[in-house]
Amino acid sequence: MLELQGIHYQPATSEKVVLENIDLQVRYGKPAIIAGPSGSGKTSLVEIISGLAKPQRGTFYLEEQVLNQRQRRSHCGVVFQFPERHFLGLSIAQELRLGHRRLSGEQQSMALRRVGLANIDVRQAPERLSGGQQRRLAVAVQLLRNPKILLLDEPTAGLDWSVREEVLGLLAKISEQQILIVVTHEPELFKNWKVSEYSLLEGKLKNVSTLPKGQ
Ligand SMILES: Nc1ncnc2c1ncn2[C@@H]1O[C@H](COP(=O)(O)OP(=O)(O)O)[C@@H](O)[C@H]1O
Ligand SMILES: [Mg+2]
């Protein structure tokens, strides 16, 4: 289980508090879906959990052990919003090697299998893949680092409806082996999942999965 206690974050460049006294617990098999409008602090929370940014106050625990910033970086995989805009590899194989420098053929096919891309030609450019396949590839790159925690920032943004289902199905599968945190402004997409739902509003996090629907 990943646990956040009392996280408080105000970047030096911000005049207001971005994350205020955040408490959160996330277990294997039960993803946390954190929903909030633009500017509510979703991306900041991803950056804080993954150790890319440092909060002023608060403690992180993984299996009851305190995690420092460096350990958070090594335990977290992050798929940022629109990951396909940041592909660097000239081929799919090269893109995968960015996630893992000494990648064996076996590891490569296992990662591709896990994201449902077992049958693609890895010599082609990542841009040749469809929108949904590109998102899957971005997830595969992160899985190669074998992170205990996987964070996704708006994983369905900009995708067609049919493709969204495909990406959601993949996340459901992944959540059995990784602690999964998804931030999104489209929480209704996840309504058929066994998830913990949170709302983030102006930097304050609230558990909404216990509330009756419509409140
Ligand atoms: N490094 C920073 N410097 C100044 N303001 C920031 C910084 N990071 C985030 N903010 C502000 O914090 C708020 C939340 O931003 P963000 O986490 O990107 O929200 P979201 O992802 O929900 O749209 C915004 O008002 C943003 O301008
Ligand atoms: Mg954002």
pLDDT of the residue at 213 = 55
173, pLDDT greater than 90:
no
- In the structure, what pLDDT confidence band is assigned to residue 84 with cuts at 50, 70 and 90? very high
Task: List the residue whose alpha carbon is closest to atom 1 of ligand 1.
Answer: 11
pTM of the model: 0.94
Q: What is the mean pLDDT of residues 98-123?
A: 91
Residue-by-residue DSSP string for the chain: -EEEEEEEE--TT-SS-SEEEEEEEEBTTB-EEEE--TTSSHHHHHHHHTTSS--SEEEEEETTEE--HHHHHHHEEEE-SSGGGG---SSHHHHHHHH-SS--HHHHHHHHHHTT-TTS-TTS-GGGS-HHHHHHHHHHHHHTT--SEEEEESTTTT--HHHHHHHHHHHHHHTTTSEEEEEES-GGGGTTS--EEEEEETTEEEE-TTSPTT-
Q: Report the chain's mean pLDDT, rounded to a whole number.
A: 93
Q: Tens digits of per-residue pLDDT, 186-215?
A: 888 888 788 899 999 999 999 998 665 555
For residue 160, pLDDT over 80 is answered with: yes
Over range 87-94, report the average pLDDT.
Answer: 96
> What amino acid occupies position 182?
V
Domain chopping of the chain, boundaries: 2-86+150-207
Q: For residue 161, is pLDDT > 70?
A: yes
Cβ of 178 closer than 6 Å to ligand 1, yes or no, is no
7, 44, 82: residue to mutate for ligand 1 pocket, most atoms within 8 A of CB: 44
Determine which of 118-127, 130-139, 186-195 has the lowest per-residue pLDDT on average: 186-195
| pLDDT score for 165 | 84
Closest to 124 in 3D by CA, of 106, 107, 114, 112: 112
Q: Tell me, using a 6 A CB cutoff, whether residue 13 lines ligand 1.
A: yes
> What's the average model confidence in pLDDT over 125-154?
95
- Assess contact for 140 and 133: CB atoms under 8 A: no
Can you give the pLDDT at residue 210? Answer: 66
CATH assignment of 2-86+150-207, among 3.30.450.40, 3.40.50.300, 3.40.50.11890, 3.40.50.1220: 3.40.50.300
State the pLDDT at residue 126: 97
- 39, 75, 100, 107, 158 from 95: Cα distances, Å: 31, 20, 9, 14, 21
Average pLDDT over residues 131-143: 94
Which two three-digit tokens encode residue 18? 């971005």
Which residue's CA is the nearest one to ligand 1's atom 27? 39
Ligand 1: does its nearest atom lie under 6 Å from the Cβ of 49? no
| pLDDT digits 0-9 by tens, 16-72 | 999 999 999 999 989 999 999 999 999 999 999 999 999 999 999 999 999 999 999
Atom of ligand 1 nearest to the CA of 18: 12
